[in-house]
Amino acid sequence: MTGMHGWTAQDTARRVRGREVRAAEVAEAALARMAAANPAINAVVQPLEAEARAAAAAVDAALDRGEDPGPLAGVPVTVKVNVDQAGCATTNGLKLQAGHRAAEDNPVVASLRRAGAVILGRTNTPAFSVRWFCANDLHGATRNPRDPALTPGGSSGGAAAATAAGIGAIGHGTDIGGSVRFPAYACGIHGLRPSFGRVAAWNPSLPERDIGGQVMAVSGPLARSVGDLRLALAAMAAPDDRDPWWVPAPLEGPPLPRRAALCVAPEGMAVEPVVEAALREAARRLRDAGWQVEEQDALPPLREPALLQARLWLAMLPRGGMEMVEREGEAASLAVYRHMAALCPPPDLAQFQDALTRRATLIREWNLFLRRFPLVLMPTSGRAPFPDGLDTQGAEAFAGIIEAQLTQVGLPLLGLPGLAVQVGAALGEGVQLVGPRFREDLLLAAGEAIAPAPISPADPLLV
């Protein structure tokens, strides 16, 4: 029988707030699970035992005083190493930043603390958070707890592997090109990329990001239950004036028609049989839950947004970005950036401006489509999780990966929310839900219809 480490965040918070269990007990169980499981997967690269015990004690003390410790009271969580956390190194998987120390919390970390979360440690990411794989020369490689021959995903591979293995109920991740959704898919759990502007985030210790990153990157949660994603989103979406892009949008919107579009192969992308089977099973479950699901051969553009996403992102390379990649000298990320630059050369000023201008037109097209179909069911990836390290096998292998990840890369340019939902027990049996901006509530409701039961933690010691 699964112990406390297998509880959902909802169950943990309810039991702690109800005084059925002390937050300190939950923290000790979580730390024990981390000590047992993490050596096999290297997901948490900076354990924070003392800090976790202090946070749990603070939750218990607040309850003893009759105060509300927050909606995540005593819930064990992890935080990705590419966001500032006071007193910790914001390494982003880089030797160049190994000695970097943050003096204050990123807004998303501050929001988790205020909500009563207990941070167990910081999770791994590939160098520069650039790959759909999770290894670097500073922290080493993270292994998939369900199958170490496969990637745990990236860039939030540490967050996904930790959460899948029961090291925390919620993992914090970031997503500019699938870095929450694909690791969730790869590790057999759920992950939410919120709408752009939903979750306040900013690294005080680092220079301001280029505009491409500013308008596409988000922070979001990974969890073993869809309900836990809802709880985590509510905590993460707290206001913070340090993020000028944060939007005070309600977490629940007005009723919308329960009408979904199923698109198995957007823009003709190749889709493996296991992926198509998961999509059709998810559609069946939605219909059983009262949704009208219509199969569509075509959606608004995704290939063009994917190209423009890369163009806006890679604009930083001639502005000192490639120089830093070369100074780091990490072979895999250096190869990935070179492959990306070959497929989509960094833009000149006119191309950059054209990309930002075209973005508005593409968002408009999607907004109008989502008026007809408030929910879109599509692949998370065209392929089952890749063999680990596949992106280091040359340009042809990388081009195949990029094609399979079309639905990951196209979404961030549009600012739309995306939910990766695990449908079956096997890896590859996952789907992606997309909806209107700031309607994560719709995605989560549909996700619960597809996957109503929590996922049991994987045991990497038995793999």
Catalytic residue among 179, 219, 225, 381: 179
Rg (CA), the chain: 20
Q: Which of 122, 63, 128, 121 is nearest to 92 (CA)?
A: 128
Q: How many residues does the chain have?
A: 463
DSSP per-residue codes, 308-360: HHHHHHHTTGGGTHHHHHHHHT-HHHHHHHHHHHHHSPPP-HHHHHHHHHHHH
Q: What is the DSSP letter of 163?
A: H
Q: How far apart are alpha carbons 333 and 326 in whole angstroms?
A: 9
Mention every residue, 6+ apart, whose C-beta is less than 8 A from residue 53.
Answer: 24, 27, 28, 31
CA neighbours within 13 Å on the CB side: how many for 101? 3
Task: Note if 95 is an active site residue.
Answer: no
Contacts 24+ apart (CB under 8 A), 135-139: 135/332, 135/389, 136/93, 136/94, 136/330, 136/333, 137/95, 137/328, 137/329, 137/330, 138/91, 138/93, 138/94, 138/95, 138/98, 139/42, 139/45, 139/81, 139/91, 139/93
Mention every residue, 6+ apart, whose C-beta is less than 8 A from residue 330.
Answer: 93, 94, 95, 127, 136, 137
Residue 27 Cα distances to 24, 105, 168, 172, 371, angstroms: 5, 21, 9, 17, 45
Task: Note if 80 is an active site residue.
Answer: yes
DSSP per-residue codes, 382-417: SSSPPBTTGGGS-HHHHHHHHHHTHHHHHHHHHT--
Q: Give the angle 153-95-84 at the CA atoms, nearest 5°.
A: 70
Catalytic residue among 80, 156, 225, 381: 80
Residue 347 Cα distances to 178, 215, 357, angstroms: 22, 17, 14
205: preceding bond cis by omega (within 30 degrees): no
Catalytic residue among 111, 129, 155, 381: 155
Q: How far apart are alpha carbons 86 and 72 in whole angstroms?
A: 20
Catalytic residue annotation: 80, 155, 179
